[in-house]
Amino acid sequence: MTKEFIFAGFGGQGMLLIGKFLAMACMLDGKHVSWLPSYGPEMRGGTANCSVIVSDDPVASPLVDKADVIIAMNEPSLDKFESHVRPGGLLVINSSIIDRKSVRDDIDVVYCDAQHIAEAVGNPKGANVAILGAMMEKCDVVDTDKMIEAIRIELGERKAKFLEGNRKALLAGKEIAKESWKTL
């Protein structure tokens, strides 16, 4: 099994961080992984994306052109990466700030109001983790317990106070995704 992911948005939306969460969770699960960040010089407000590859076998190259799963947190990212989803793949769109719908009919699309979900659980900065939870519900790549452990590890002791809010956002994203795929 090999799955390729791209997480894309503005700098500051936490795309590189959720890529790290996924990579760590899959490492904890005994998988081979790669994580490759890409961002503009502006950082906050500029473009930021990362690719993650999860495999049962060693990963030869961290480069991803066509992904099985793409999360687009803003419209420029959707415009840039929508065509990079493999046919039959998954595109998760942050409907909190993206008004347009996907133009693809050969992929699964999830519209996730990530900001609303994060605010509803009391973690207004957790939209990235909420959309990660929605993705996890549709793409069975790692179990929830391993993801929560990965979040704990990546946050470290200095940011441990954010673990509970991220756990709530992750679980809420998964729960909302169970209820309705096309109307999130």
Q: Tens digit of pLDDT for each residue in 96-139? A: 999 999 999 999 999 999 999 999 999 999 999 999 999 999 99
Write down the mean pLDDT value for the chain. Answer: 93
Was domain 2-179 assigned CATH 3.40.920.10?
yes
Q: Domain-by-domain residue ranges, the chain?
A: 2-179
Q: What is the pLDDT of residue 43?
A: 56
**Residues contacting residue 23 through CB under 8 Å, at least 6 positions apart:** 33, 34, 35, 52, 54
Sequence letter at residue 79? D
User: pLDDT confidence of 42, banded at 50, 70, 90?
Assistant: low
Q: State CA 148 to chain mean position distance.
A: 14
Per 3-state DSSP, the chain is made up of helix, strand and coil in percentages (nearest 5) of 40, 25, 35
Q: What is the pLDDT at residue 182?
A: 45
CA 159 – CA 152 distance, rounded (Å): 9
Tallying the residues shown for the chain, one arrives at 184
What confidence tens digit (pLDDT) does each residue in 45-63 have?
Answer: 677 999 999 999 999 999 9
Confidence of residue 184 (pLDDT cuts 50, 70, 90): very low
Is the pTM value of this prediction over 0.75?
A: yes
Contact predicate 129/14, CB 8 Å: yes
